Amino acid sequence: MSVLQMETESAAVNERPSAENYLNCSHGFWSWAATRDHKRIAIMYLISVLGAFLLGGIFAILIRMELWTPQRTIMDHDTYNHTFTLHGAVMTFLFIIPSIPAAWGNFVLPVMLGAKDVAFPKMNLASYYLWVGGALFLLAAIVLGGLDTGWTFYTPYSTTTNSSVITASIGVFILGFSSIFTGLNFIVTMHTMRPVWMTWFRMPLFLWSLYATSIIQVLATPVLGITLTLLVAERALGIGIFDPKLGGDPVLFQHFFWFYSHPAVYIMILPAMGIISEIISVFSRKPIFGYRFVAYSSIAIALLGFLVWGHHMFTSGQSRISAIVFSALTFSVSIPSGIKVFNWLATMYRGSIILTTPMCYALSFIFLFTIGGLTGLFLGALATDIHLHDTYFVVAHFHYVMMGGTLVSFIAGLFYWWPKMTGRMYSEFWGRLGCFGVFAAFNLTFFPQFILGARGMPRRYYNYPPEFQLYHQISTVGAFLLGASLFVAAFTLIHSLFRGRKAPANPWGAASLEWQTSSPPPLHNFESDPCAGDPYDLDSQIYDPDLSGYRFRVESERLHSTNDSAI
């Protein structure tokens, strides 16, 4: 296909005025509730996981308020224990694990492949309703006596406490199936629905990261299901598996639990890295540096991620030899993660960097993820981990990775694909301001926790020695500012729905396929087959003031220079 032909086709897409799209093609409750359109399912997922994030965030604020003083501030011991458990369970199982794959994966994956939908649209819808079902069980657990086990459900505490462990376990079990359905669907879609010209190494890196994530979802999640089934069997039927009073082994539970939950960490972070790879490349106006290394590193992280679960258990009494092996394997995972960071930097080198809101979030990600990753070294090294294990150092570390990493990347994706999803542009000023607020408040909240941890403040403590109060108060102030900044980001987007200018097909000049269709896309994603091309050939795009967006460059324009003159 000639470049000229490509140009006319894409221009035709761009010029079509307010055509029918997936948002306005049908109306009414059932057109959403029973939809099989991946884009509508993605929006339902997006709203639902953001609702869960709000709930988890409220729990977080309550925790931080209680920790304002060393003794009782607003709640008693048990309420505090319930609050941090629910914060962890809601954030992990209802928000972070589904967040990027279910919302952005669902919305973008088929469009990036130039496909009409995922391979199994009904299964996709079923996955959403499983999420809803699992969420209802978790919420029911809150109402029916709460949950005070910590999100990790460690035995024998969880088999002996009188809070609603069974209800919550059933919820998490169901959520696991939701996750498996999404993963299976993505794997099949990527294998069978790529256009002929799109070889594996011409896929956008976000798809590589989703592929790696899906492998973990399909292989690891069943282990969590089995573990929780055993836990329920022990509680309900008195079968001795984990409780030593019944002849069980409590440490066995930790092995089972982390065999899922460590790979689950990569379910959370891999797709986040995928989004960052897209955004860094587009807003540096350069192809991603070392595409193959970045793609392979996703797969390497996914596979190595299965072999390191024991690093959560260095103090559990596991044998020395296993502690040593797990420590060594843990360090091996940090190499592919490091590769990604260096490749992102090299992508920016000699680029033409545009500080849009998504790019600001991506740069925040690099900053925060680097701290999160480097502090992992203290925890991977055996001698230092013994001191830092189960302290606030660990709390700070995983918040830097999960929140500074995954959440920030999720928001980066939100601002990046928002024009595509809604057809509206938001205010860059307010977008950047929100990003700066999130970045600064995040560091204020979590950096003091590294110091707290190293000085010996254990996690999950309701009362604490008064000498730690200053650090806790800084952290609490940070948490409130963080909440406020997230609302700034939310209002920026909500405002755009009503007052934002209409989004062009390709506002960012990206070359992956989702930008070749109108914003928002039609029900079947493309009016005509999208053009074959390299997803990182950003020079193929040129800014066109008439469209206030980008279009394909024609041959004559390509000769002039590699610099485009857009603002």
Partner 1 sequence: MDPKTMMAVSETDGGSFWFPTAGTQIAKEVDGLFYFILALSTFFFLLIVGLMLVFVVIYRRRPGYARKFAPDHNSTLEVVWSVIPAILLILIFFQGFTGFLDMRTPPAETYEIKVVAKKWSWAFQYPNGYIEGELHVPVDRAVKLTMTSDDVIHSLYIPSFRIKMDLVPGRYSSMWFQANQVGDFPLLCAEYCGTKHSDMLSRVIVHPSGEFEKWLEQASNLMSTLPPPEAGKLLYNRRGCAQCHSMDATARTGPSFSGTFGTSQPLADGTTVLIDENYIRESILEPMAKVRAGYRPVMPSYKGQLKDLEIDAIIEFIKSLK
**3-class SS of residue 71:** coil
Residues 322-351 that bind partner 1 (CB under 8 A): 323-324, 327-328, 331, 334-335, 338-339, 341-343, 345-346, 348-351
We find the least distance from the C-beta atom of residue 47 to partner 1, in angstroms, to be: 33
We find the least distance from the C-beta atom of residue 330 to partner 1, in angstroms, to be: 8
Task: Look up residue 219 and give its DSSP letter.
Answer: H
The site for partner 1, by CB under 8 A, has a size of: 92
Q: Which is nearer to partner 1, 132 or 239 (CB)?
A: 239
Instruction: Report the interhelical angle of 250-283 vs 408-422 (nearest 10°).
Output: 50
Q: Which is nearer to partner 1, 235 or 286 (CB)?
A: 286
CB atoms within 10 A of CB 196: 6
Could you tell me the two tokens for 352? 């033409």
Contact code string over 386-405 relative to partner 1, x by CB under 8 A: xx-xxx--------------
Residues 521-550 that bind partner 1 (CB under 8 A): 536
We find the least distance from the C-beta atom of residue 345 to partner 1, in angstroms, to be: 5
Residues 68-87 that bind partner 1 (CB under 8 A): 71, 77-78, 81
Give the separation between CA 432 and CA 372, rounded to whole angstroms.
23
Nearest in space to 121 (alpha carbons), one of 38, 194, 183? 38
Could you tell me the two tokens for 454? 């190293």
CB atoms within 10 A of CB 453: 25
- Please state the φ and ψ torsions of residue 237, each to the nearest 5 degrees: -110, -5
Could you tell me the two tokens for 530? 């999208």
Non-local CB neighbours of 191 within 8 Å, separated by 6+ positions: none
Q: Which is nearer to partner 1, 371 or 531 (CB)?
A: 371
**Segment near partner 1 (CB under 8 A), from 220-228, 262-270, 289-297, 408-416?**
289-297
Q: Is 382 in the site for partner 1 (CB under 8 A)?
A: yes
Q: Is 514 in the site for partner 1 (CB under 8 A)?
A: no
Tell me how many degrees the CA angle 219-376-475 measures, rounded to the nearest 5. Answer: 110
We find the least distance from the C-beta atom of residue 187 to partner 1, in angstroms, to be: 27
Q: Is 296 in the site for partner 1 (CB under 8 A)?
A: no
Q: Which is nearer to partner 1, 105 or 373 (CB)?
A: 373
Q: Which is nearer to partner 1, 23 or 353 (CB)?
A: 353
Return the residue matching tokens 């997922």: 45
Q: Is 261 in the site for partner 1 (CB under 8 A)?
A: no
User: Please, are residues 96 and 402 in contact by the beta-carbon 8 Å criterion?
Assistant: yes
End-to-end CA distance of the chain: 30
Nearest in space to 38 (alpha carbons), one of 134, 93, 113? 113
By CB under 8 A, name the one of 68, 293, 436, 447 that touches partner 1. 293
Q: Is 320 in the site for partner 1 (CB under 8 A)?
A: yes
Q: Is 446 in the site for partner 1 (CB under 8 A)?
A: no
Partners of 212 in the β-ladder = none
Could you tell me the two tokens for 129? 């309703």
Residues 449-478 that bind partner 1 (CB under 8 A): 451, 454-456, 458-467
Count CA atoms within 13 Å of residue 383 on its CB side.
Answer: 0
CB atoms within 10 A of CB 505: 24
Residues 146-175 that bind partner 1 (CB under 8 A): 148, 150, 154, 156-157, 160-162
Q: Is 251 in the site for partner 1 (CB under 8 A)?
A: yes
Q: Is 199 in the site for partner 1 (CB under 8 A)?
A: no
**Segment near partner 1 (CB under 8 A), from 11-19, 90-98, 171-179, 381-389?**
381-389
Q: Which is nearer to partner 1, 20 or 76 (CB)?
A: 76
